[in-house]
Amino acid sequence: MKKLISNGMIVTAADTYLGDILIDNGVVVMIGTGLEAQDAEVVDASGCYVFPGGVDPHTHLDMPFGGTVTADDFETGTKAAAFGGTTTIIDFCLTTKGETLQKAVNTWHGKARGKAVIDYGFHLMVSEVTETVLTELPRIIHEEGISSLKVFMAYKNVLQADDGTLYRTLLLAKEQGALVMVHAENGDVIDFLVNEALAAGRTEPIYHALTRPPELEGEATGRAVALTGMADSQLYVVHVTCAEAVRQIEAGRAKGLQIYGETCPQYLNLDVSYLEKTNFEGAKYVWSPPLREAWNQEVLWNALRSGSLQTVGSDQCSFNFKGQKELGLGDFSKIPNGGPMIEDRLSVLYSEGVEKGRISLNQFVNIISTTSAKLFGLFPQKGTIAIGSDADIVIFDPSVRRKISAETHHMNVDYNAFEGMDIMGEPITVLVRGEFVIRDKEFVGMPGSGHYLHRKKFGATNGIATKPSSSEGVL
Enumerate binding residues for ligand URP (CB under 6 A): 60, 183, 239, 287-288, 315, 317, 337-338
Between β-strands 442-443 and 435-439, what pairing exists: parallel, antiparallel or unpaired? antiparallel
* Residues in CB range of 74: below 8 A, 6 or more apart: 61, 62, 91, 111, 112, 115, 116, 120, 450
Q: Which own/partner contact pairs does 320-323 have at CB distance under 8 Å and 24+ positions apart?
A: 320/71, 320/413, 320/414, 320/415, 321/281, 321/283, 321/284, 321/414, 321/415, 322/414
3-class secondary-structure state, position 463 = coil
Say whether residue 75 binds Zn ion (CB under 5 A): no
Nearer to Zn ion by C-beta: 10 or 246? Answer: 246
CA distance linking residue 182 with residue 235, whole number of Å: 7
Out of 217, 315, 390, 426, name the contact with Zn ion by CB under 5 A.
Answer: 315
Q: Which one of ligand URP, Zn ion, none is in contact with 248 (Cβ closer than 5 to 8 A by kind)? A: none
Applying CB under 5 A, what is the total number of residues that bind Zn ion? Answer: 2
Burial 381-419 (b: 16+ CB within 10 A, else e): bbbbbbeebbbbbbbbbbeeeeebeeeebbbbbbbbbbe
Label the pairing between strands 86-93 and 119-125: parallel
Stretch of residues binding Zn ion (CB under 5 A), selected from 229-237, 257-265, 304-312, 315-323? 315-323
Q: Which residue is nearest to Zn ion (CB)?
A: 183
CB of 79 to ligand URP, least distance (A): 20
Choose between 165 and 429: whose C-beta lies nearer to ligand URP.
165
Site string for Zn ion, 157-196 (x = CB under 5 A): --------------------------x-------------
Q: Closest separation between CB of residue 339 and Zn ion, Å?
A: 10
The conformation of residue 49, written as its DSSP 8-state character, comes to E
Closest CB 261 distance from ligand URP, rounded Å = 14
- 3-state SS class at 432: strand
Cα–Cα distance measured from residue 232 to residue 226, given in angstroms and rounded to the nearest whole number: 10
Report d(CA 251, CA 238) in Å as an integer. 17
CB of 287 to ligand URP, least distance (A): 4
Q: d(Cα 386, Cα 183) in Å, to the nearest integer?
A: 33
Closer by beta carbon to ligand URP, 49 or else 74 = 74
Nearer to ligand URP, 239 or 457 (CB): 239
| Of 27 and 424, CB closest to Zn ion | 27
DSSP conformation class of 316: B
Q: How far is the CB of 200 from Zn ion (least distance, A)?
A: 26
426 binds Zn ion (CB under 5 A): no
Identify residues 367-396 at the interface with Zn ion (CB under 5 A): none
Closest approach, Cβ 66 to ligand URP, in A, equals: 8
- Give me the least distance between CB of 48 and ligand URP, in Å please: 33
Element (H, E) at 234: strand 234-237
Between 317 and 348, name the residue whose CB sits nearer to ligand URP: 317
315 within 8 A of 341, measured Cβ to Cβ: yes
Picked from ligand URP, Zn ion, none, the partner binding residue 369 (CB below 5 to 8 A depending on kind) is none
What b/e string do you get for 230-239 counting C-beta neighbours within 10 Å, with b at 16 or more? Answer: ebebbbbbbb
Considering the complex, state which of residue 158 and residue 465 has its C-beta at the smaller distance from Zn ion.
158
The piece of 8-16, 111-119, 254-262, 313-321 that touches Zn ion (CB under 5 A) is: 313-321
Nearer to ligand URP, 228 or 266 (CB): 266
- When CB distances are held under 5 to 8 angstroms depending on the partner's kind, the choice from Zn ion, ligand URP, none that residue 337 binds is ligand URP
Q: Return the number of the residue (269 or 337) whose C-beta is nearest ligand URP.
A: 337
Smallest distance from the beta carbon of 338 to ligand URP, in angstroms? 3
The CB-of-172 to ligand URP minimum distance in angstroms stands at 22
Q: Would you state the torsion angle of the CA atoms of residues 357, 363, 368, 370, taken in this order, to the nearest 10 degrees?
A: 170
For 1-42, give the secondary structure using H, E and C.
CEEEEEEEEEECCCCEEEEEEEEECCEEEEEECCCCCCCEEE
Task: Using the minimum distance from each CB to ligand URP, give the nearer residue, 224 or 395.
Answer: 224
Where do contacts with Zn ion occur on this chain (CB under 5 A)?
183, 315
